[in-house]
Amino acid sequence: MNPSSAVRLPCAVEPLIPHARRMCLLTHLIAATDDGATAETSTRHDDLFAEANGIPAWVGVEWLAQTVAAWAGFQASGSTETPAPGLLLGARRYRARVPVFAFDQRIQVTITVDFVADNGVTQVSGELRRAGTREPPLAHGSLTLYRPDSMPIRGDA
C-alpha cells in the first residue's frame, strides 16, 4: 500500500482521525512514514482545554495520542477501510518542562512507533516542540495504545 497516493502531506488531521470536531485537537499532519509521524497544533485562547495562562501540559498526552491516530489514518488512507478507533491505555515517563503551553504558538508533535503487537497493542515514543525552533522538547514520553478488532466505528448503528 502507498498511503501517499491517497493523501498528500501536509494535510488536515480531522479527516484522518475518528474524533468529533471539537475533540480534534491537532490541525495538520506534516509528515508520516511507516515508523512515525509529525503533526501540528496551535495553542489558542478558545481551545477546549484553555486556562488563563495557556494549555495545561497534560493535554500534550492527548496531542501525542491524536498524532498516533492521524498516523494510523494516514496509513489506512490507501485502503477502503475506515480507520478503527483506538484506546489510550497509558502514558509512561511523560515529562513536560513547562506547566502550560503558552498561547499563540505552533507546537509540533512527533511520534515514533516502537512496536505494534499482533494483539493490537502499540507502543510509541513522542515529543512536543515549538515549531520552527531548535529548543529542547517542551514535553516527551511514551504511550501504550490498543486497537481492538471489534470496536464500532463512528456512524455504525
Q: How would you write the pLDDT of the chain (157 residues) with one tens digit per residue?
A: 444 456 789 998 988 887 777 789 999 999 999 999 999 999 999 999 999 999 999 999 999 999 999 999 998 887 666 666 789 999 999 999 999 999 999 999 999 999 999 998 999 999 999 999 999 999 999 999 998 875 555 554 4
What is the domain partition of the chain in residue ranges?
3-146
81, 82, 85, 86 alpha-carbon torsion, rounded to 10°? 40
**CA-CA distance, 130 to 51, in Å (whole number)?**
19
pTM value surpassing 0.75: yes
**CA-CA distance, 24 to 8, in Å (whole number)?**
19
Whether residue 83 contacts residue 19, with contact meaning beta carbons closer than 8 Å, is answered with no
For domain 3-146, say whether CATH 3.10.129.10 is its number: yes
**CA-CA distance, 28 to 9, in Å (whole number)?**
9
